[in-house]
Amino acid sequence: MSTVHQTAVASSRTGKLLVTGATGFLGSAIVSRLIETPRWDEVLLLVRARNSTEGVARVIETLKRFEVPEALLARVQPSQIVCGDFLLVDAFANDPRLGDVTEVVNCSAVTSFGRHPQIRKVNVEGTGAFAEALMAKAKLRRFIHVGTAMSCGLNAVNPVIESDAFPENAEHAVSYTESKLESERRLRRIPGLPLVVVRPSIIVGHSRLGCKPSSSIYWVFRMGFALERFLCDFDTQIDVVPVDYCADIILRMLDASVLHNTLYHISAGPERSSTFREIDRAVAAALGREPISHYHQVDYAFLRAMTDRFPELLGPCNKKVMLRAIQTYGAFATLGLVFRNDRFQTEGFPVPPCFTEYAGLCALSSMDRTIAEQMVTDFK
Ligand SMILES: NC(=O)c1ccc[n+]([C@@H]2O[C@H](COP(=O)([O-])OP(=O)(O)OC[C@H]3O[C@@H](n4cnc5c(N)ncnc54)[C@H](OP(=O)(O)O)[C@@H]3O)[C@@H](O)[C@H]2O)c1
């Protein structure tokens, strides 16, 4: 959307903030920050759970990964849990607490890169039904929807600008990214929804805790470095941001009285994206090994031909799963897409750290787990 569009939020808050996806990687990072603030008492969490007790337990479990102190964990109350599933919006749409909601951060989504049968049902239909249910009940001031920068598709011009004017028939590597673009379009059609879309690039690790909260996607770097081969060039840039930075930006957006746009990338951008070579150097320094001196860019067939060596190079693993991961994640890495984030400057938000500044922490916090163990989080 153009910069003339402004969304205003009254500075004095009277209503509830509803966070969805609170048991996921990004949602729990946001909750781990909110729980430290006076606003916590006004926070509601939409959680898939049979009852609020189970919901509390699920939220606490994820918050522990962020090293939230016990005293703060005790602040999670059953009264804050809205048990709900985007597949069954009608089942929670009449919850009276929704009438008090003024702000939403929507992190719920099926994030699988595979052929998950519920991708469209949750990410498009359920997301739309959820927003409509809230519009019918609540007086919303701001609805922050988390999209993905990769919804630009495979043929986007690099660096990718912050735009929703992507062609209808853009090619996508996985139906997840396609569904995420469609969900944005679905939400934009809801009259009066005070929508702000944030599109993170690739979220990897935490700038202070490394991979402790989640090993999502970090294992792809491990894999490439262990094989000393991957589908992309070693000097390809990759646009990565840490989860705590994403959470911080979303909370700032929530607090801003005025936002000048309705669509933002949360990304490292051309200036702060790192190359695989730079990331390897950072990881090597942390682990006390030599940086890779003979990296080879190879094609998929080459890697398929070396599957017998996978256990020796990657540790105990299912070779087929490894190959599928290489194919899927390699397709994104090869594109070398970086995502412009000019709009942050308009808002005065901080720039992200480079991945090289905390990749060593990710490596150190991954040492007790194999690549196969780490990748489970992305193949649920
Ligand atoms: N991680 C990244 O690199 C990245 C990059 C760009 C954009 N994003 C976007 O950021 C958002 C959060 O991603 P994430 O990495 O935190 O994903 P995640 O760890 O997979 O978490 C997804 C969250 O959505 C919830 N969810 C799944 N199906 C649901 C349903 N049917 N009804 C209600 N909630 C449901 C999950 O609940 P359960 O715990 O019950 O399964 C979980 O809390 C997503 O919109 C994703 O597209 C992520």
CA angle 148/152/157 to nearest 5° reads 135
pLDDT tens-digit readout, 73-86:
999 999 999 999 99
150 C-alpha to ligand 1 centroid (Å): 15
Confirm whether 216 is domain-assigned.
Answer: no
Residue 13, pLDDT score? 60
CATH number of the structural domain spanning residue 155? 3.40.50.720
List all residues whose CB is within 6 A of at least one atom of ligand 1. Answer: 21, 23-27, 48, 85-87, 107-111, 122, 126, 146, 148, 180, 200, 202-203, 216-217
Contacts of 211 (CB under 8 A, 6+ apart): 205, 218, 362, 365, 366, 374
Domain, as residue range, for 255: 7-208+238-272+339-345
Gap from CA of 366 to ligand 1 centroid (Å): 22
Using CA positions, which residue lies closest to atom 17 of ligand 1?
24
Residue 9 has pLDDT above 50, yes or no: no
Strand partners, 43: 17
User: What are 10-37's pLDDT values in tens digits?
Assistant: 444 679 999 999 999 999 999 999 999 9
Determine, yes or no, domain membership for 146. Answer: yes
**Residue 110 binned pLDDT confidence (cut-offs 50, 70, 90):** very high
Position 263 pLDDT exceeds 90:
yes
**Residue 358 within a domain:** no
Pick the atom of ligand 1 nearest to 217's CA: 3
The residue-averaged pLDDT of 353-361 equals 98
Q: What is the pLDDT of residues 295-307, one digit of tens each?
A: 999 999 999 999 9
Interval 144-194: pLDDT, tens: 999 999 999 998 999 999 998 877 778 998 999 999 999 999 999 999 999
Residue 260 CB burial class (10 angstroms; 0-12, 13-18, ≥19): middle
Is 223 inside any structural domain? Answer: no
The pLDDT > 70 percentage for the chain reads: 97
Predicted TM-score (pTM) of the model is 0.96
- The neighbour count for residue 104, using CB atoms within 10 Å, is 28
- Cβ atoms of residues 253 and 368 within 8 Å: no
Pocket test for ligand 1, best of 54, 60, 108, 145 (most atoms within 8 A of CB): 108
Q: Is residue 333 part of a domain?
A: no
What amino acid occupies position 358?
A: Y
Number of domains in the chain: 1
Pairing of strands 16-20, 101-106: parallel
Region 323-350 average pLDDT: 92
The Å distance, Cα 200 to ligand 1 centre, comes to: 12
CA-proximal residue: ligand 1, atom 5 (nearest): 202
pLDDT of residue 6: 45
User: Is the pLDDT at 1 greater than 50, yes or no?
Assistant: no
Q: Taking 50 as the threshold, does the pLDDT of residue 5 lie above it?
A: no
Positive or negative, the Cα torsion across 256, 259, 265, 268? Answer: negative
Q: Is residue 219 part of a domain?
A: no
Whole-number Å distance, alpha carbon 68 to ligand 1 midpoint, is 20
User: Ligand 1 centroid to 32 CA: how many Å?
Assistant: 16
User: What separation in angstroms does the CA of 138 have from each of 5, 80, 258?
Assistant: 23, 17, 20
Mutate which of 18, 19, 20, 25 for ligand 1? The one with the most ligand atoms within 8 Å of its CB, which is 25
Residue 289 pLDDT exceeds 80: yes
